[in-house]
Every structure is written in C-alpha cells, then in structure tokens.
C-alpha cells in the first residue's frame, strides 16, 4: 500500500464523518448520542485506513478486491461532494423536495462525476499511461449517465414518493435518499468502469 492510499483514506474518512454528523443533526436524536459528534471524526479516518489495508492484503490474492476498496473510498468521497453540492443548492433555494430536488440532485451528481473520473482513472484502475482518449471518456460518461439515471431515480423515489421516514426532517431524509441512491449506482459504475472503461 502506498502513502497516497493512506492519505486519501484518511481524507475520505474525515469527510464522510462530517457528512454523517450533518445528517445526524437533522434527526431528532437523544442527547445520549451526542458523543457521536466527536467519535465519528476520530474513528472514521482510522476505519477507512484499516478497511483499505484489509482490501490491500486480500488484493494480493484477488486484485479486484483492492480496486473495490479504493472504489468504495472514492465513491464515499464523491458522495460527500455530491451531497455537499446538493445541500448547498437546497440551502440557497430553500427547496428540499419536488421536481427542483430532482434537478438539484442531477446537478450535484454531474459535478461529482469529474472527481469520480479522475479518481477512477488515476487511483483505482491506475491508468496513467493511456492518456485521455475520446473512446475512454465517452465510455466513462455513458456508464456514468446510466448511473445518473439509477442515482436520480432511486433518490427521487425515496424522497418524492416514499417521503421522510423514522421522524426525520425533509433535509435529513433527502440526504438519506442521496446516500442510498449513491450506493445503488455504485455497483453499476464499478463493474462498468472495471470491465469496459479501464479494462487492462
């Protein structure tokens, strides 16, 4: 495992910790759980490094496992970017549901895609020598646009059709919808990137 792997795992763990804290603040939770506000920023970076190290060890026998570990971390970081943009758009507009939510979710997903492409190309699949070919970029965006449909569709279903659950606020449920949507499209994206776009 390289130093850059450890650094990126630490950064991702910290970013995800603060995303979870943001979501928890939108849920009516007992004050007995306030300790999570300091536990997450300390534990998530450590857990990210341990998780990546475990996939690295397993990846010595099954190389795709280490790629999957890096993909998960990259996806987690891109999800933070995705939801950061989404929350910013909801904040400036005051809108957290309806057709505008779907529009905002589409924008946030597309902005996060550039980070996902660079992370996939240079960190996950280590494709430094191939340059930026038209075919590769086209394939990446076709896979990603299909993932966009999955992502926005799942998020919109959860937010606009099912609606807030477990006594969550609209904003908290919108974030949960965004997370579930990201996980739904992640499987599609990993398989498409590995076997079509960055296949070696």
Read off the pLDDT of residues 114-163 as tens digits, 9 standing for 90 and up: 888 888 888 888 776 667 778 888 999 899 889 889 989 999 999 999 99
Distance in angstroms (rounded) separating the CA atoms of residues 18 and 118: 23
pTM, rounded to two decimals? 0.70
pLDDT at 130: 66
Share of the chain above pLDDT 70, in %: 93
pLDDT in tens, 55-98: 999 999 998 899 999 998 998 888 889 888 998 999 899 998 89
pLDDT at 200: 60
Residues ≥6 apart with Cβ < 8 Å to 111: 81, 82, 85
Nearest alpha carbon to residue 90 among 40, 159, 182, 27: 159
Residue 10 pLDDT greater than 90, yes or no: yes
pLDDT at 126: 79
pLDDT at 60: 94
First-to-last C-alpha distance (Å) of the chain: 20
Distance in angstroms (rounded) separating the CA atoms of residues 50 and 116: 22
Average pLDDT over residues 12-31: 76
Cα dist from 144 to 19, 111, 147, whole Å:
23, 12, 5
Nearest alpha carbon to residue 11 among 41, 36, 39: 41
pLDDT at 22: 77
């Amino acid at each position: 495992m390289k130093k850059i792997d450890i650094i990126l795992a630490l950064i991702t763990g910290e970013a995800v910790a603060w995303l979870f804290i943001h979501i928890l603040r939108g849920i009516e939770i007992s004050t007995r759980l306030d300790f999570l506000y300091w536990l997450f920023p300390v534990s998530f970076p450590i857990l990210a490094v341990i998780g990546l190290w475990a996939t690295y060890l397993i990846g010595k026998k099954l190389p795709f496992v280490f790629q999957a570990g890096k993909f998960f971390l990259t996806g987690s970081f891109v999800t933070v970017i995705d939801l950061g943009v989404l929350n910013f758009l909801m904040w400036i507009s005051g809108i957290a549901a309806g057709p505008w939510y779907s529009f905002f979710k589409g924008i946030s997903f597309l902005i996060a895609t550039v980070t996902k492409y660079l992370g996939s190309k240079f960190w996950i699949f280590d494709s430094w020598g191939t340059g930026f070919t038209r075919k590769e970029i086209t394939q990446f965006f076709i896979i990603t646009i299909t993932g966009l449909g999955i992502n926005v569709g799942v998020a919109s279903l959860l937010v606009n059709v099912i609606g807030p659950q477990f006594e969550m606020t609209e904003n908290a449920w919108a974030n949960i919808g965004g997370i579930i949507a990201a996980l739904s499209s992640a499987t599609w994206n990993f398989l498409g990137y590995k076997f079509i776009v960055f296949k070696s």
